[in-house]
Structure 1
Amino acid sequence: MKTSSLRFYSLIFAELCFLPILFCCNFFLNKISSKDYSPNKKKRKLVHDNKVYINIHEWGGYPLKRTKSVSSIPQFECGLEYQLQRFNSARKNIPLLINITISDIEKSPNIDYIKKDTDNIDSVDNGGMDFSGYSSFYEKIKNKENAYVILSNTSVNAIQEDFLGSHIKYMEDHPEVGMLGVSYCTKIIQTFVRNNFTPHLQSFYILTTIDVLREVVKLNGGFPGVGIDHKLLLIRKGEINLSTLVLKLNYNLAVVQENGEVYQFGRNSVLDNSFNAWKLYFGDVRLISKKPNRINPII
């Protein structure tokens, strides 16, 4: 059994052993949580470089266009071609650096096509999947002046919107936001402790800054999710942990909803998980989305 698989099943076994205690703790924390988010939030450092650094991660075996199928979520078109179209359109108005990371790059027949529409291509290991690409890109930019960073993969809905300017403006106006995304889930699904409240941004599109990523890496002792090749563990230790770390740093998270409105959320304290302050749908929002994984502009 691979190390990541062993880690995941060991974690699940430990949770099963303490399931009654964990369930009661979550019930208690959810019950006593406050109905309002704390206004005392950390503020991000100013951005000094107006260039937006973008990393799109891809697996070499995917075609440029594909259909994404996830259980209980409507199918949608996606793929690297749509991502390149999206960001090359945005760079007409905003200076961008578009970097592509590809795992199992030898499986891709499209390298020449990709080169035409991007600034750089990096081959990365498939251990860590998307987070292998994200961490590799972070290593390239971590010593640059503070700037906005987008971490994304190719499972983004093909629908094209003029979104980036509104996302950047929102971040400029709201320095209390450490990360902005376009989709969320309120719980860890990969667990038997079903009453957990763990709101997090889904990592197919994340807007943050170099400085916030530096803080995350310092707090975590490394980039989240690196080297994990078990998908369920990667969701917990990569995607969910990334949001959790930003909340621990006392920033808020923000999600752009389908209607273009933004919802901010945070964590008040270790003993106040803000369960009663939550105002949106509980669970994976894609279950009720008309166009899941779509990047919507802010109205």
Structure 2
Amino acid sequence: MLFSLHTIKFYVTLLFELIAFPILYTKNFILNKLSSKIYKRHNKLRQTIQSPTILVNIHEWGGYPLKRKKSVSSIPQFECGLQYQLQRFNYAKKRLPLLINVTISDIEKCSDIDYIKKNTDNIDSVDNKGMDFSGYSSFYEKIKDKENAYVILSNTSVNAIQEDFLDSHIQYMEDHPEVGMLGVSYCTKIIQTFVRNNFTPHLQSFYILTTIDVLREVVKLNGEFPGIGINHKLLLIRNGEIKLSTLVLKLNYNLAVVQENGKVYQFGRNTFFDNSFNAWKLHFGDVRVISKKPNRINPIV
């Protein structure tokens, strides 16, 4: 095929938005204007953790070197790579019970497999369709029937800067069972759209801390793991990364993001007719544009 099914689906979505632009733009304008200035308090709490082992999955594309530079439009270039991720979590493993799993797509392209084997508990070869979410969904399938435990889903586009962060992240989740997912970076809108006045706050998926039980709820609500099998990057952002956060909010959990200053900002979504636009207190857009050290995992202070 000249174009994949997911490429066609993405551009059909854009075509619909273009045709319905006046209606969609007006709807967003009204919702943003009339939204509440405070977040509704949600009473839903996560299920209790049963297993002390923190289950970590790091996804990598086999063609990447262990260390690399990451360049994204309008965001300062930074160093990242699998080697830094393995160092980060193996350091945490000295104090906390961790299982470190690495999923690799196009594993035949990986020239550092021996190094990876020495520094992880397990390696899984996965399809490249779905990219990071191929690894995330594969890992979920492995752990979905285990006792409830904390889960970290991450890729290798994490800033190389090493911080002692995990204890503080786990403690925050312990203290705040209303939080369904915790991340370290966010964006407040769908950028891959013609309707740019949308308010769709979500966690960026290069680092997510959640639980098995929350992921089970997400999959039950959605019918499958978000983003699975999608081979078009822009559609994957919409139907993988953004949808994951949207589903957690629909389940009436809050999301939390660790800011660059180490403070945590919690947010939710009030109702279908109240999108909480006026309750938002942080930078609008992709926070990495204003970050001094983008994609860095910061400890909570």
TM-score range, shorter chain: over 0.9
What is the CA-CA distance between 1:42 and the residue it aligns to? Answer: 1.1
Alignment partner, residue 159 of structure 1: 161
Tell me, yes or no, if structure 1 residue 267 matches structure 2 residue 269: yes
What is the CA-CA distance between 1:39 and the residue it aligns to? Answer: 1.2
Tell me, yes or no, if structure 1 residue 79 matches structure 2 residue 65: no
Alignment partner, residue 102 of structure 1: 104
* TM-score normalised by structure 2 residue count: 0.99
SS at match of 1:167: helix
Counterpart CA distance in 2 for 1:107 and 1:130 is 16
Aligned ranges for residues 150-229 of structure 1 at < 5 Å?
150-229=152-231
Tell me, yes or no, if structure 1 residue 23 matches structure 2 residue 28: no
CA contact (8 A) 2:42 2:253 kept: no
Counterpart CA distance in 2 for 1:130 and 1:214 is 18
Letter in 1 for 2:50: H
Q: Of residues 219, 224, 232 in structure 1, which corresponds to 2:234? A: 232
Alignment partner, residue 39 of structure 2: 37
Instruction: Report Cα offsets for 1:243-272 as digits up to 9, x if no partner.
Output: 000000000000000000000000001111
Structure 1 moving runs of 4+ over 4 Å = none
Q: CA RMSD in A?
A: 0.4
What is the CA-CA distance between 1:111 and the residue it aligns to? Answer: 0.5
* TM-score normalised by structure 1 residue count: 1.00
What is the CA-CA distance between 1:41 and the residue it aligns to? Answer: 3.3
Tell me, yes or no, if structure 1 residue 62 matches structure 2 residue 58: no
CA contact (8 A) 1:41 1:252 kept: no
Alignment partner, residue 124 of structure 1: 126
SS at match of 1:180: strand
Counterpart CA distance in 1 for 2:105 and 2:157 is 15
Letter in 2 for 1:141: I
Counterpart CA distance in 2 for 1:176 and 1:236 is 25
SS at match of 1:264: strand
Letter in 2 for 1:158: A
Alignment partner, residue 143 of structure 1: 145
Counterpart CA distance in 1 for 2:282 and 2:222 is 29
Letter in 1 for 2:126: V
Instruction: Report Cα offsets for 1:169-194 as digits up to 9, x if no partner.
Output: 00000000000000000000000001
211-220 or 36-45, which moves further after superposition? 36-45
CA contact (8 A) 2:42 2:178 kept: no
Long gaps (5+) in structure 2:
none
CA contact (8 A) 2:187 2:202 kept: yes
CA contact (8 A) 1:69 1:75 kept: yes
Alignment partner, residue 290 of structure 1: 292
Letter in 1 for 2:189: K
Counterpart CA distance in 1 for 2:247 and 2:215 is 10
Instruction: Report Cα offsets for 1:150-178 as digits up to 9, x if no partner.
Output: 00000000000000000000000000000
CA contact (8 A) 2:262 2:300 kept: yes
Letter in 2 for 1:251: Y
